[in-house]
Amino acid sequence: MTNNSNKEKTLGEVMRSRGVSRRSFLKFCAATASMMAMSPAMIPKIAHALESARRPSVIWLSFQECTGCTESLTRAHTATIESLIFDSISLDYHHTLQAASGHAAEEAREAAMNENWGKYILVVDGSIPTDNPGYSTIAGISNLDMFMQTAAGAAAIISVGTCAAYGGIPHADPNPTGAYSVYDVIKKFSNNQLDGISSATLAKAGEGSVVSKPIISVPGCPPIPVVITGVLTHFLTFGTIPELDHLGRPKAFYGQSIHDRCYRRPFYDKGLFAETFDDEGAKKGWCLYKLGCKGPTTYNACATTKWNDGTSFPIESGHPCLGCSEPDFWDGGGFYKALSMPTENITQTAIYTAAGAAAVGVALGAMNKSKKNNAVAAHNKTTIDDLEK
């Protein structure tokens, strides 16, 4: 984890000590400003803020997750400035990356919390089980308790990955652990819908007014590394959180859909689609809509920032977008079902309905017929006598 002597250094000092040139640093600042749709006049401000920023304390909690988010964020191919910023934050606690475990690690977390109360950034990856506290514990502390206690003293919470942002795979139907996202857990807390939370945690959460903490969601399975550094840069530069959309995602990165920025979009507009993964259309790079691409309903920066050092993104390598940065993408009826296809078995529904309806129709017809026959049978012919009455 963090070296204490490094803790007092500014980010600029840390970067210089790692041999990052002024030119590449400014290039990073320019790229960040442009990515976050800021004016070029902001570049010197970003550079100054980053250079002089004391390294913020970051506590990283991993709950019901697969470690893919941490893998994504820590595996830069080259020593980029993004990764240096990530390396240079005072990552005071990270379940996966720290060597210590058990009570010693928890003491470190509590020490970091007390030292920076109200100022640290809480990063969460993984969803939080709410059904039974025993489903997921760390050093005997339930995920729910640990989250609420740590969130109480945070300046802001960053939900990294789809599990923390929306519940992700653990939240997928039938959600056996009662898993919820960071946002939903806090919402449930404010509505008094959380059971299994200790009284000590309740007191701490109330004291730290957890309900009013700003939450930034950085969804994706996993999320793009540059998005998290972009969010951190914004926080370090302005001391505020970036502009968010209705799902709490930074608009700078999640403002446009994959479909709108996809280089295969012209093929969609022309109606040229790959029908299978190995047909002529696929070889010619046509649109993957028919193969289940969720790009039209997915908001993320994959098509612009790309992955693996800007190499490509899933659609570029011939696979449809799964929609991993949208809520409940696991329950969307299958990755290879096109968006215009129903998610349920409509054929079966229609056949059963048709059979039932045919029976009802025949019965109604028979009833009508018998009604008619009865009416005919009950009909009395008019006689001469009747006319004389």
Partner 1 sequence: MSEIEFLNWVRGPGFQIAIIIFVAGVIIRFAEILLLGRKPNLAEAKGSEMSSGLRTIITRSIPDKGTFQRSMFTVVAGYIFHLGLFITIFLFAPHILMFKDIFGFGWPSLPTPVVDAMAIVTIIALFAVLIHRMRNTVLKFISTKEDYIVWLVTILPLITGYIAFHRIGMTAPTLLAIHILSVELLLIMFPFTKLMHTFTIVMSRWYGGAISGYRGVKS
- Which residues here bind partner 1, judged by CB under 8 A? 166, 246-247, 257, 259-260, 268-271, 273, 289-290, 296-297, 299, 323, 326-329, 331-333, 337-344, 346-347, 349-350, 353-354, 356-358, 360-362, 364-366, 368-369
Running DSSP on this structure, what letter comes out for residue 240? S
The single residue listed with the structure tokens 């489903």 is 135
**Residue at 127: amino acid letter:** S
Instruction: Please say whether the beta carbons of 136 and 129 come within 8 A.
Output: yes
d(CA 110, CA 104): 10
**CB closer to partner 1 out of 99 and 376:** 376
Minimum Å distance from CB 351 to partner 1? 9
CB of 329 to partner 1, least distance (A): 7
The number of C-alpha atoms within 13 Å of 374 and in the hemisphere containing its C-beta is: 6
When the beta carbons of 26 and 247 are compared against partner 1, the nearer one is 247
Of residues 26 and 338, the one with the C-beta less far from partner 1:
338
Q: Rounded to whole angstroms, how far apart are CA atoms 284 and 351? A: 39
CA distance 321 to 294: 5
Q: Evaluate whether 49 touches 237 at the Cβ level (below 8 Å).
A: yes
Least distance in Å: CB of 326 to partner 1? 5
CB of 254 to partner 1, least distance (A): 11
Which is nearer to partner 1, 37 or 354 (by Cβ)? 354
Task: Report, in Å, the least distance between residue 289 CB and partner 1.
Answer: 7
Looking at the Cβ atoms of 96 and 373, the one nearer to partner 1 is 373
CA distances from 343 to 28, 196, 277, 334, 347 (A): 43, 35, 21, 8, 11
